[in-house]
């Protein structure tokens, strides 16, 4: 079974402060990890995926297989980063990857001016 845990329901920081949204996963195979974001009155959308190793909007996330974590980080938070963030996992089996995702519970990030 695969599971994704986001331990913080709410996270508040001030503008310019570093932010880290935690994500831990449980999966016996080789996972693919994602961060999705939902801004106010907008659709849920992909922010980044571990396989791309890219930085989007200043956010980065590194897959740590030893700690089974995929924390999302940004060195200097901005007010426009305020949103709901979901960590998600896609599993593999028999060399084929499945499209379906398992989502965490979500973290609401609020960046204060």
Partner 1 sequence: DGGITQSPKYLFRKEGQNVTLSCEQNLNHDAMYWYRQDPGQGLRLIYYSQIVNDFQKGDIAEGYSVSREKKESFPLTVTSAQKNPTAFYLCASSFGEGGHEQYFGPGTRLTVT
Q: Please list the residues that pair with 96 across neighbouring strands.
A: 93
- Minimum separation from the CB atom of position 6 to partner 1 (A): 8
CB 20 within 8 A of CB 71: yes
The distance of closest approach from Cβ of residue 95 to partner 1 in the complex, given in angstroms and rounded to an integer, is 11
What kind and span of H or E run contains 79? none
Helices (H) and strands (E) in the chain, counts: 0, 11
Q: In the complex with partner 1, which residue's Cβ is closer, 17 or 46?
A: 46
- State the nearest-atom distance from the C-beta of 67 to partner 1, in Å: 21
Nearer to partner 1, 95 or 113 (CB): 95
CA-based nearest residue to 19, from 60, 54, 62, 68: 60
- Selection from 42, 15, 11, 33 nearest residue 108 by Cα: 11
In DSSP terms, 85 is beta-bridged to: 37, 107
Q: Nearest distance from residue 60's CB to partner 1, in Å?
A: 18
Residues that bind partner 1 (CB under 8 A): 6, 9, 32, 36, 43-46, 49, 51, 86, 90-92, 96-106
In the complex with partner 1, the residue whose CB is nearer, 96 or 113, is 96
Q: Which is nearer to partner 1, 64 or 105 (CB)?
A: 105
């Amino acid at each position: 079974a695969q599971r994704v845990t986001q331990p913080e329901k709410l996270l508040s920081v001030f503008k310019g402060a570093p932010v880290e949204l935690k994500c831990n996963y449980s999966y016996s195979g080789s996972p693919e990890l994602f961060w999705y974001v939902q801004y106010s009155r907008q659709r849920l959308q992909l922010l980044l995926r571990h396989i791309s190793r890219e930085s989007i909007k200043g956010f980065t996330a590194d897959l740590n297989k030893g700690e089974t974590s995929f924390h999302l980080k940004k060195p200097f938070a901005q007010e426009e980063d305020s949103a709901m963030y979901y960590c998600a996992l896609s599993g593999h089996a028999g060399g084929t990857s499945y499209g379906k995702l398992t989502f965490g519970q979500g973290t609401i990030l609020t960046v204060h001016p």
